[in-house]
Every structure is written in structure tokens, then in C-alpha cells.
Structure 1
Amino acid sequence: MTVSKSLQAPSSVVMIRPLHFSVNSETFDNAFQSSKPSSSDDARKASQELSDAVEVLRRHGVEVHLFDGVDRRTPDCVFPNNWFSTHAVGHIAVYPMMAPNRRLERRSDILDMLKTNFRVQDILDYSGLEHDGLYLEGTGAMVLDHVDRIAYAVESERTSQIALERFCTHFNYEPMAFRAVDAHGQAVYHTNVLMCIATDFVMIGSRMIENEARRRDVLNRLGQSGRIVIDLSEDQIRKFAGNAIELQGSEQRILALLETAMNALRADQKAKISDSAVLVPLKIPTIELSGGSVRCTIAGIHLTPRACV
């Protein structure tokens, strides 16, 4: 399968090997996070899982800019998509984070790499909003439709409406916020565990959107994009089926997702995905303990590479 490149699917990404991984004691609002204390061996396992995932993506032709975690105070550094995002025409956003120890994940060396290797016009830093208790945790808090310019966002403590509207104004996105809860009434903490937008399809746990009218609004907007909408059950969401990312490989687009998530998909759902992207399962069981999955570990680079000198 050979397909044309897409604005939605980056061919380059940033990933961080978590040398000091542990379950973050400051983020227990995340219902996907394990309540069990970390073991002494978890850091080694998480580091190896991330390294193995990078090799799988590279074999498919994805350019991975791999960094090592450097600060023992940042147990969630493996999830870089929360503190920065990149955008066409050379823009970078840096985000305000709710947990104090997650604010330490922001790294100038990663921003410097992006400026060196890609065309960057400006960096908009929203991190000062933390002083006002306003948070917007990047492409965890928002799932961005880069083609139709819509920012889908689940309402939560990690997604301030003020910060969302400010981002959308600066980056020319239409905000579409909604509340989503699980069967126990607990709010979904990040949008990217609920939905994934690819070039030709969308995966979403729409039945978890609490307000029926708002659910119809979201599904209508997704349908207007011309994409196939693949509705996921809450059980599939719990297995991180919505926490996937479409990437551009050397010959085809791929959908990177958790192996458990892929196994949770029905045959008809897999067939719809396979019409435009190759399913690429990754194994990160230790990293999952922190309440994030494959999409969370990948920060897509939507910038134009600099010409080689």
C-alpha cells in the first residue's frame, strides 16, 4: 500500500526514553493510572520498552528523534506530547501543566533541536498560565484536526477553557469542547485517550460524551470531514484503543497503537483502518502503568525540515 503524504500524519517525531520512570504520585486524577507503587525494576523495563518501540517505528520509515530522560524528578517524561506541539508554517506551542513535577519536563535542548533541524518561525509559550491555575496539556488535552482546523477537547482540570481559546485564536483552530465520563461518572482526564483523528478515519468512544446533543455535534463535525467514524466501546477505550497516532512511514501511513488495543478492535474496525494505514502494534506494558499509552509517548513534528547544507 503506497499513499500520498498527509497533513495529519507526521513523518518525524520526538520520543523520550524514561531512564527514571515511575508512577507519578502527583497525577492520580488519571483513572487509567495504576494505584500500585512502582517497583525498582520499572525504570529499566520502561526504558527498554521505549527503545523497542522506537526501533519498530524506524523500521517502518518514521524518523524518530530520541532523547533520554535526564531528571529524576520527572517520572512522566516519557510523555512529551503534553508539554509541546509543532505546527505547519513553523510554529511551536509550549503548554501549562497541572502537576508541578510535570512542568520540569520542558526542555530547551529539544526545542533547540527542532530549531536546528526544522524551519521554526516562533515559539508561543503558554506556561505562564500555570501561575493562574490554567492548564492545557498539549495534544493530550486536545486532539487536533490539522486539515479542518478543529481542536477537540474533553473538559477537565487539565484543559482550561481560557487556555484552549487562547491557543485556538493564536493557531487558527476552532475549539470544540465537551465533557466525557466513564461508566462510574469519572471524567476522562485527556482527550487523546478518547479519540484519534487520522487522514481517512476517526476512532472515538462517542458514547462516553455525557451530553447527547453535544455528542451529535461532535459526530456531525467528524462526519463532515469525510472521514470514516469508527466508534469505540468503553472497554476498548480502557484498553487504549483510542490512544493511537497515524504516522507517515517511508512507503505508507501507519497507525501506531498498543498491542492490547489492536487486539481489542473488532475485525471490521481493523479492516476500515487497513484501507488507508497499516496497523503497527507496540508493547509498552510498564509505561502503561502511568496511565498513558502509545499516543502519549509520541510528539509529532509538523514542521518543514531544513534543507541539507
Structure 2
Amino acid sequence: MQQTTDTIVMIRPVNFRMNEQTAVNNYFQEELDIKNTEINSKAQQEFDVFVEKLRAVGIHVIVIDDIVSQDTPDSIFPNNWVSFHKSGDVALYPMFAENRRRERREDVLLRLEEEGFNIENIVDYTSAEDEGIFLEGTGSLLLDRVNSKAYCALSPRADEDLFIEFCEDFEYTPVVFTANQTVDGKRLEIYHTNVMMCLAENFAVICLDSIDDKKERKNVVKHLKQDGKEIISISEAQMHQFAGNMLQLRGRNNQRYLIMSQAAYDSLTPQQIKAIEKYCPIISSSLETIETCGGGSARCMMAEVFLPKA
């Protein structure tokens, strides 16, 4: 079992803007005082440059265009509605925002089959939406595929019972906790696990300060150390620059890379950069518009493909 893949799906935006339906509990989103058409065109530029950088090192990026008529402002973050597994299973997830549910597209799965991947089975959790229960893919779930552990920070978008059900279905050991950020002087739940934590093969980048409960924090650290991962701690201020929203991928000749935004990279200290580069080079790209309006960053834009080849 491998922790990293060399293939990802990315959705090129056609209607990107600030999604008012997600802003209620995504405290990373901000309004930009420019027209939506301009926001979308800036997002497209950032997207295209990012894809080029990934392809340049041999990462296989399957780019699929968003559909204008769907009016899905957050489609650029496909890792929330789908995950692709080594077993040939594809999981479909229940989404908090109604307009995000339209992002789930069968043609994305067909495209993967056209690319030679084998889909054996679809595990569909989306009926939970009818009960107001959500679990937003690898935004909510951080999968340690090698050690069969799944980390999840509970929030309005990550339901504990559904998380446990996922772990039973896919045979992962659940590691559950709550992560908070300070918003207007209050401690509020962070909307997705993958903004405060990144799991790579030999290390984890994590904002331990966001886990207020000491017992829970100790438990997370225990699991990471047990599996031999070096813990690279980031501050809450760095997390706000998306320093937790990173993903390790494989490029040409099996070379590993840690992918992040320019803002995330710029927030890191020389010591943190050194700690990461001990394991793999860093690739960063400016995602300023996407981060500001979307409240998500590099990791959210990449849906990893672990499916077997047909």
C-alpha cells in the first residue's frame, strides 16, 4: 500500500467566486471587492500555472472542465465529494452546502475509466444529506493508507458516526478529535481536517495548537509517533496561510514532492522548510484568489487517484 500517488484529478473553474453557502462555517473565506467574472479569470490563471508546475515534474494531472450551467462556485475543490481507492472503490460523500452537491459528476468517473483506471464499486454516503449529516471526503478525512488510520477533526461538515461507518467500510482505525480556530475572540471548529493537518509518508505537518483538548492532542501525537512520522508543528497564524493544506505526490522517477500554495510556503520558517526538504522538495504556486474567495488551497484542489489500472 502506498501513501502517495502520481495521478490526480483537478477541476478547472468556469464559475468560481465566493460561495455564500459555505461561508457560514468556513472562516478562511473573504470577500474580494472585484467582479465575479474577474475573480473567475484570476482563479483560472492560478489554476493553469499550478497545473503546469505539477506536470513539469511528471505528476499526471487529469484536468476536467467545470460545467457552466451547473453554477458550482466551489467545483475547484473535488476532493470533498469523491475519493478513489486502491481496492477499485470510489466513495461519494455528503456535502454541507446544497450548491456543492451538484459537483458530483458521473462523467468524472467515466473519464477515469477512459484513462485506463478500474472502478469496481461505488460506496455512496450521499443519502446522509437528507438527515443533515455530512462528511466531506478527504477534506474531512486524512487517510494514512499505509498504517490504515484515518484522522478526522469533527465539525458541522464531519459527522462522527458517519466517519466511523467510513472507517468500518474501508478498514481504517479512526482517530477522532476536535480542532478549533479563534474567530472574533471565540474558539470555533475548523471546517476541514486538511486545513490544519497534512500527512506525508514520513512526516506530518500539523497545527497542534488547534486541538484544545489535551487528551485528544496527546492521542493524535501518540498515533503519529507510533507510525514513525516526524511531527512538524505549525502555528495557528501559519494555518491561516494554509500551511496545513499540503499534499505529498509522486512525480517522475518516483520522486516525492510536497505541494502547497505560495502563501503557505511564505509563512514557513527556515527550520520548517529544512525539516520538510529533508524528505522531499517543495513545489509552491500562487493561489491567492482561490484561497481568499474559496477558503481552500492547494490540497483541496487535488483529488488523488489510487485506483488500479484496468
Which position in structure 1 is the counterpart of 2:47? 50
Which position in structure 2 is the counterpart of 1:206? 208
Alignment of 1:140-179 (within 5 A): 140-179=139-178
Structure 1 vs Structure 2 CA RMSD: 1.2
Q: SS at the partner of 1:199?
A: coil
Find the aligned partners of 1:61 and 1:228 in 2 and give their Cα distance: 26
Which position in structure 2 is the counterpart of 1:119? 118
Q: SS at the partner of 2:304?
A: strand
Q: Does 1:17 align with 2:20?
A: no
Question: Bigger CA drift: 280-289 or 30-39?
Answer: 30-39
Alignment match of 1:31 (pick from 27, 48, 63): 27
Which position in structure 2 is the counterpart of 1:81? 79
Which position in structure 2 is the counterpart of 1:302? 306
Deviation at 1:300, TM superposition (A): 0.5
Q: Which amino acid aligns with 2:40?
A: A
Alignment match of 1:291 (pick from 288, 291, 295): 295
Which protein has the bigger helix share?
A: 2
Find the aligned partners of 1:119 and 1:248 in 2 and give their Cα distance: 20
Find the aligned partners of 1:107 and 1:279 in 2 and give their Cα distance: 32
Find the aligned partners of 2:31 and 2:212 in 1 and give their Cα distance: 26
Q: Once the two structures are superposed, what CA deviation does each residue of 1:213-271 show, in whole Å capped at 9, x if it has no partner?
A: 11000001011110111011111101100000000010310011011111211112111
Q: Which amino acid aligns with 2:85?
A: H
Q: Does 1:257 align with 2:260?
A: yes
Deviation at 1:114, TM superposition (A): 2.2
Q: What is the count of residue pairs matched by the alignment?
A: 301
Decide whether the 8 Å contact of 2:96 with 2:129 is kept in 1: yes
Distance 1:37 1:186, change over 3 A: farther
Q: Does 1:8 align with 2:8?
A: no
Alignment match of 1:185 (pick from 180, 184, 187): 187
Q: SS at the partner of 1:47?
A: helix
Which position in structure 2 is the counterpart of 1:3? none
Q: SS at the partner of 1:54?
A: helix
Which position in structure 1 is the counterpart of 2:220? 218
* TM-score, structure 2 normalization: 0.94
Decide whether the 8 Å contact of 1:134 with 1:162 is kept in 2: no
Q: SS at the partner of 1:169?
A: helix
* TM-score, structure 1 normalization: 0.95
Q: Which amino acid aligns with 1:33?
A: Q
Q: Share of identical aligned residues, percent? A: 39
Q: Which amino acid aligns with 1:173?
A: Y
Which position in structure 1 is the counterpart of 2:235? 233
Decide whether the 8 Å contact of 2:263 with 2:288 is kept in 1: no
Find the aligned partners of 2:157 and 2:32 in 1 and give their Cα distance: 23
Q: Which amino acid aligns with 1:103?
A: R
Runs of 4+ in 1 over 6 A off after TM superposition: none
Gapped regions of structure 1 (runs ≥ 5): 1-5
